[in-house]
Amino acid sequence: MLEGNRFEHLEREKGRFRSYLLGSLKHFLSHRFARSQAAKRGGNAESYSLNETGAGEVAGGSLPPDAWFDQQWALALLRLALLRRALARVELECRDEGNETQFQHLSPWLTGESEYGDQAELAEKVGVPVNTLKSTIHRLRRRSRKAVKAEISEMLLDSADVENEMTALFAALKNK
């Protein structure tokens, strides 16, 4: 989708990005179906599933593609909101402890916006050893994980499901 500069013609005033993505998904699926039905690709041959669970079906199972897209969009927004609230919780804790500046410097390592080599630069800029900075980042990440866990537990009825939800959340973020 990113090949061929397909986003250059998209004007912000003429439509919403979400609508553009939905249209692209529908277009892709219709062309994929047409190609699969072509005679030279075995379109007239009978096909069989390799498994009985239907894992080979289009993502979303019985949902139409646009409903599946809307569902995935809502889940992505929910995950983002959850992570923002958790990050705000950690920032508030740091502010209460008088470490607001520290949080501002180290927050890129919580959101994945920084590079590994940046730690040495920041350590030199702040005037602390690199290992001290790494330890501080590690502790801040641990606090962030606890904050995410607290946010998830507030949303669930059964606190036993928190670890499963955490695993699902981080798996989804890795596939992003």
| Tokens 């894992």 -> residue | 55
Instruction: Judge contact between 29 and 67, C-beta under 8 A.
Output: no
Give pLDDT tens digits for 126-147: 888 989 988 998 999 899 888 8
Give pLDDT tens digits for 42-54: 666 665 555 544 4
Give pLDDT tens digits for 86-115: 889 999 999 999 988 888 888 888 877 776
Count Cβ atoms below 10 Å from residue 94 Cβ, excluding itself: 19
Question: What per-residue confidence (pLDDT) applies to 56?
Answer: 37
**DSSP symbol at 51:** S
Structure tokens at 137: 């980042």
Cα angle for residues 63, 64, 67 (degrees, 5° grid): 80
Structure tokens at 154: 């507030």
pLDDT > 90? residue 150: no
Mean pLDDT of the chain: 75
Question: What per-residue confidence (pLDDT) applies to 95?
Answer: 92
Cα angle for residues 173, 2, 21 (degrees, 5° grid): 70
Rounded-to-10 torsion of CA 38, 39, 42, 47: 70
